[in-house]
Amino acid sequence: MKKVMLVEDNEYLVRAMLRNLKRVQIEITAVGSVEEALDHFKAGNIPDVVVTDHYLPGMCGAELLVILASDYPKIWRVLYSSAPPASIGIRAALADVILAKPSLTDDFLAAIELKR
């Protein structure tokens, strides 16, 4: 079963996504910040895919992309944000997939499934 970590601080969006994704066979962990995601990694909870918003409290999603590319290069990186990629700059290029918010559940699943 594919392990996915969702890094998103909007509780409403997290609940909606978890509800919509119940129909698929993936294990989803939702965290509200980059720092919380990094705590999971340090504890050995390494997902196959990380889906991150850009606008987060503390460190931003683009900073997480840099860390993932450097320290966890095998993790598939999905930037899921309302921020235009141009506003994120060169760090957006570290994402394997960029999804604009809001995206349909099927588009979200397709981005995750690209990771083989």
**Within a 10 A sphere around the Cβ of 39, how many other Cβ atoms?**
12
Q: What's the average model confidence in pLDDT over 47-69?
A: 92
Helix (H, G, I), strand (E, B) or coil at 84: coil
Mean pLDDT, the chain, as a whole number? 86
Q: Which residue has the higher pLDDT, 81 or 65?
A: 65
**Is 0.85 surpassed by the pTM of this model?**
yes
26-31 β-sheet, strand order? 26-31, 2-7, 49-52, 76-81, 97-100
Domain coordinates of the chain in residue numbers?
A: 1-61
pLDDT at 114 over 70: no
Identify the H or E element spanning 19: helix 11-20
Does the domain made of 1-61 have the CATH classification 3.40.50.2300?
Answer: yes
Place of tokens 């999971």: 40
Helices 34-42 + 61-71 axis angle, to 10: 20
How many helices and strands in the chain, by DSSP H and E? 5, 5
**CA atoms of 43 and 26, how far apart (whole Å):** 20
Helix (H, G, I), strand (E, B) or coil at 27: strand
Chain segment 10-30, per-residue pLDDT in tens? 999 899 888 877 778 888 999
Confidence of residue 83 (pLDDT cuts 50, 70, 90): confident
Identify the H or E element spanning 43: none
pLDDT at 89 over 70: no
